[in-house]
Amino acid sequence: MRRRFVVATLIVLVLLAWSVVLPNVSVILGSFDRGLEDWRAFAASPADREALWSTLVISVGSVVAALAVGLPLAFLLGRFDFRGRRALSAVATLPAALPPLVGVIAFLFLYGESGVVTRLVQRALHLDHAPWSLTGLSAIIFVHAYTMYVYVFLFVAAGLDRYDTTLDEAAAGLGASRGHTLRRITLPLLTPSIAGAMLLVFMSSLGSFSAPYIFGGGQRVLATQILVSKLNGSMGLAYVETTVLALAAVAALLALRWLERRRRYALSGKGKGTRVVVRSRTARVIAPIVAVVVVTFLVLPHAMVVLVSFARDGAWTTQILPPEYTLDNFRRLASDPELWRPITNSVWMSAIATVANVVVCFIAAYLIVLTRAPGRRLLQLLVVLPWAIPATAIALGLAATFDVNQPWTGRVLLVGTFWILPLAYFVRNVPVFTSAVEGSLRQMDASLEDAARGLGASWLLAMRRIVIPAARPGLVAGTMLAAIAAVGEFVASVVLYTHSNRPISIEILAQLRNLSFGTAAAYSVLLIALVLAITLGARLAEGRVERI
C-alpha cells in the first residue's frame, strides 16, 4: 500500500513539475538569456515603470473599491431584515455569472462614450459631447469594483453567518457604542474573511487583462505590456515583465498571510448570526428604494448584453438604443462553420481541462489529506503555486517552454496546436479544484477508510464506497468552478491562441474590433448560457449528493 502511495505521489509531482514548475523556471531563465541586459532595459524603460506603477495602483484601488461595495452590502444583507432584502440577496452575486470579458463588454455598452447610460445623460443635460470618458485607471478600477466586490460580499457574508451576535449584545451591555463594537470586536473577528477576500481581489486585479485592454485608453499595465513585448519580438523583456508580475503576486500573498498571522481571533460561542428587523419608519421606506436601485444596477449589464445580442450589426450608430432587432446574429452562429468553431473549441477545451483537473487534483488532494506519503508537503506547495502566479505569467511560461520538441528536457511542441490552451486551463484551475476536494476530504474521518480495509474491502472498493462519496461535494464544486473558468477564459487564451483553436472569448474581441456588436453580444449570451448550464448541472448533482 505504501509503495502505491509513493508511486502515485511521484507521478503527480512529476506532472505538476512539468506543467507548473518547468514553465516558470523557463521564464526566469529566459529573463537572464542576455545576462542582465533585459533587466536593465526594464529598469530604464519609462513604459515598463509606468506599467508596474499602474498595475500596483489598480490592484490596491480595486481592493479598496471592492471593500467599499462588498463590505457594506454584506453587513446590510447579513445583519438586517427589511423589505426587498431577499430580492437583493438573490442578485447580489450576479456579477460572478458574467465571464470577465463579457462583464467588460457590458460596461462598454452601458457606460462607454457611446453607451446607453452615457447617451441618456448627454441628451438629458443637452451636452455636445459625452459627459465622461470611461478610460484610464479610474475606469479600470470602476469595472473591477463591479466584477470583484462579489468576493468580499461572499467571504464576509459567510463570516457573518458564523458570527455570534451575543458578543455585540454583551459589548452594548457594557456601554460600548456601535462604532466601538464594530471596530474592536466585529471587524477583528472577520479579519480572516476580509483578508482572504482582499487577497483574491488583489491577485485578480494584478493579472487582470480584459478591463485594462478595453478601457486602458493607452494606460499601460504589466499584463498588457507582456503581450506587447511578445508581439514585438522582445521575448527577453517579456520574460522580465512576467517575472516581475509573478514576484509582485507572491509578495502580496506573503504580506497578507503575514498580516493574517499577526491577528488571530477565534469565536468561543456557538451562537448563529441573527438579523435585526428594521423598525424605523424612515429606514423601512428608504431600504426598499435602495434595494431596487442596487438590483437595477446589478442586473443592467446582463440585460444590456441580451438586448444588444438581438441588435442588427451596423444599425446602431448614434441612437440611445439599437433601432433594429433581429435573430440573424444567433442564426449566423448556428449556420456559419467559422462562427461556430469557437463555440466547439471552448466546449471541448474546457471539458478536456476539467477532466484532467478531476483526475489529477482528486489524487493530489487524497494524497495530501488522507495519506502520509513522502513528498506530500512538496505536493501541497505545487498545487497552490499557480494561484500565486497571474494568468499572463502562466501563459507566457507555457509559451516559452513548449515551443520546441526536446523530449529529453521535458519540452514538447504544443505552441500553435489545439492542446496548449487545455493545458493552460488545467494549470490555472489546479489550486481551486484541489482546495475544493481537500475541504470535503478534511471533513471525513480518516478511520473510516481504515475500518473498511480492516473488514476486508479492497483499496478500490474503499475508494469507491467511502472516499469518493465523502469527496463528492468538493468534486462537484471544483468541477463547476473549473469548467466555468475554462469556458470563459480570456487572459491565457489571448497569449496562446491561434486562429484554428480560438475560443469564444477571443472571437468576442474580434467581433468588437469589427464593430459587429450584435454578434459579439450573441457570443456573450451563449457564454453566459454555458456558465448557467454548468451551474445548474452542479446544483442538480448537489441535490443527488444530498439524497445519497
Separation of alpha carbons 121 and 135, rounded Å: 18
The confidence band for 424, taking pLDDT boundaries of 50, 70 and 90, is very high
DSSP letters, 497-546, are --STT--HHHHHHHHHHTT-HHHHHHHHHHHHHHHHHHHHHHHHHHHHHH
In this model, does residue 25 exceed pLDDT 70? yes
Identify residue 314 by its one-letter amino acid code.
G
* Mean pLDDT of all residues in 90-115: 81
pLDDT tens per residue across span 173-186: 666 666 666 666 66
Domain ranges of the chain: 1-30+326-548
* Residue pLDDT, tens place only, 281-322: 776 677 777 777 877 888 888 888 899 999 888 778 778 888
| 213-231: pLDDT as tens digits | 888 877 888 888 888 888 8
pLDDT in tens, 320-369: 888 888 898 999 998 989 999 999 999 999 999 999 999 999 999 888 88
Q: What is the mean pLDDT of the chain?
A: 82
Label residue 233 by pLDDT band (50, 70, 90): confident
Band (261; pLDDT cuts 50, 70, 90):
low
d(CA 207, CA 211): 11
Q: pLDDT value at position 343? A: 93
Q: How far apart are CA 4 and CA 370, in angstroms?
A: 14
This prediction's pTM: 0.82
User: What per-residue confidence (pLDDT) applies to 156?
Assistant: 80
For the cut 50, the answer to whether the pLDDT of residue 268 exceeds it is: no
Q: Which three cell numbers stand for residue 129?
A: 459631447
C-alpha cell, 52: 508596474
Contact 136, 219 (CB under 8 A): yes
Could you read off the pLDDT of 432-485 as tens digits, one per residue?
Answer: 888 888 877 876 666 666 676 666 666 677 777 777 777 788 888 888 888 988
Helices and strands of the chain, counted as H and E runs:
27, 2
Architecture of domain 1-30+326-548 in this structure: Orthogonal Bundle (1.10)
**Ranges 67-71, 185-189, 295-299: which has the least confidence:** 185-189
The CA angle 94-395-301, to the nearest 5 degrees, is 20
